[in-house]
Chains A and B, each alone.
Chain A
């Protein structure tokens, strides 16, 4: 039986015995008991008699996951997701912090709108940080009041869904945000270069007769933003990087000391553009089929669940992105959890709303990559926890005395992705029906149990 808790619950006291603790920030990976006393990590001997004792043998304990990129759809599209349901989806996926993106209706472009979300999230199932819009109404021209928004506690600004259109606006934003220690979170897509495209250009788009988005559409915005970051000293965070070329540009800029960071989604690591054609092979597997020749599967081809922006990448990019996570060029894995109601997806591929949900499958896709030998477990957990947390001023630690903020999961146990198994109000993911490794057993955020399953 699974249960959700909230940040408003009393602090937890419990013992996890015999778990494998992985604390990437401390470089620790050891099997031992871990105690939580009144919400803080404590010496197991200090627990009162009768405290709940959980046999965690075979389970992994890691710092609480942190998502830099979540669409909660509230206000404006509550039938797709709400702050409450999205936070539960996060807790179910092992996340203790999520960053709510501002492309709501109205957009989160003013301090009062930011605090409205923060207030509603106060007793959610995870911490909700807010990313404010970069420009008024996400219009791309007139920038928001960075100082006031910073005072309201935002995690950054972004016009996500699109890049900040005006170069002048980007320059102004970087100049003002830099001293505040906040990033401009950029959805890098040159809308002119991407015009009309609904997937990445490649063999699959040629086969399917769908207009293809060429890698330059991301590259040109990334190059512009790196240049402006160098010029202003401001901080650009490129979200959901999806092309090997843009990743190389970011790696090179980091080498020159420019303040640029980036994240990648689990689906750009694990899925490929061939999924649009109905293939269901993870990127790290060598494809057995030729996308030009294999008959399209009537049940899976043109599945609008695979319509996502930026579009799913060809395999070579996905492998380059995996390597970018492994070598640290990519700072974080961020879900771009983008819930949509059924009617926005039960349409022609080219008419479908772009985006897929990700909070509840991110860890599992990462663990599938680990099982395939494409990523180390410690690096995966770092990219899902301490890595992103650092970018928004949070820490993640499993050392005694810290506030308990962690996820406990069974790394090998498989589960089937089904709408009924998801806490999200939406189920738009092409992973439905598939079996993935990794079941979250317990999530503790800020000392409170926010989710538990099968641990009683």
Chain B
């Protein structure tokens, strides 16, 4: 059927040196992790480890020399945008930040028009954050720039899933046969959806826990178990990932108060005792302390929240350099 035309010139990495961990990678865009094979996922994580080391050694990298990376964040974001900007800069790219107002979906200029304008000004890679699910797919078939999905609606957040996989792999070892619990509003979470793809692809079994309205639609997803109660998901879990709750949803489709949510699904040190000894806690941030996670737990030795943020830059370096090959 319809094929994406590969019309843009590919830019070769410069004298950055051969990277031992570069595997096969045939993708022009990163729209979600579902497109990556297990080998590609692992190659990306391996490359991120190497990128992190070289960055720590203050090596000058030029994989994206001569390239312009456009950051089109049509929704507010701090950590993801900053981390993409640092990653692109570290690889020698020039970075253009689009103000939200200029790129907002408003009458007059459509998303497609905006992206075509960016492409025509010489931007070769567009990092897109958008409030509507599927926007990066429209972008990928509407313009010739490489598209990196930095989060679309309630659909996907592939670089978050990759940095989570890296963080988990380094904390608990290979994910084969590991039990990972994801707790909260799965239905509206792009982080959860992408993590389900990557964690199951890496061999983990994923348990979902949260109010029924937020988890029941996932029954039947291969490799996924929907827990009836939080304790079932936590029992002997090798790691636990909490999601940020949008407080305004609690009154709506979840039909429960914040206090009820926390009582049934909130994570604290004593509940974490059900998990394997030392099982780490992840959270994509920012945390609603005292709602989905207690402040004590978020700052405890279990917490990998800071590591996740740190891993964001090398993961995005790996993604940007792989797409530019």
Interface residues of chain A, those whose CB is within 8 Å of chain B, are 201, 203, 205-210, 212, 280, 290, 292-293, 295-302, 304, 343, 346-351, 433-434
Contact = CB atoms under 8 A, between A and B. Distances in A.
Given A203-B220, A349-B133, A209 B105 contact: no
B156 interface: yes
B32 interface: yes
B141 A298 contact: yes
A3 to B, nearest CB: 31
B132 A351 contact: yes
A57 B35 CA distance: 50
Given A203-B220, A296-B35, A434-B1, 13 more contacts: A206-B187, A206-B221, A209-B153, A209-B155, A209-B193, A295-B34, A296-B32, A297-B1, A299-B141, A300-B1, A300-B2, A346-B142, A350-B132
A290 B132 contact: no
Nearest to A304: B138
B1 A347 contact: no
Interface SS, A side: loop
B134 A210 contact: yes
Interface residues of B, number: 37
Contact of A433 (B2, B4, B110): B2
Interface SS, B side: loop
Among B1, B110, B138, B220, chain A packs the most CB atoms within 10 A around the CB of B138
Contacts of A304: 138
Among A212, A280, A293, A304, chain B packs the most CB atoms within 10 A around the CB of A293
Contact of A292 (B134, B135, B153, B220): B220
Given A300-B2, A349-B132, A206 B217 contact: yes
Nearest to A202: B217
Contacts of B140: 298
Nearest to A293: B222
A23 to B, nearest CB: 38
B86 interface: no
A206 B217 CA distance: 6
B148 interface: no
Interface string B285-303: 0000000000000000000
Interface string B99-125: 000000100001110000000000000
A442 B78 CA distance: 63
Nearest to B221: A292
Contacts of A205: 217
Contact of B134 (A208, A293, A295, A297): A208
A295 B35 contact: yes
Nearest to A290: B222
B110 A299 contact: no
Contacts of A209: 133, 152-156, 188, 190, 193
A348 B31 contact: no
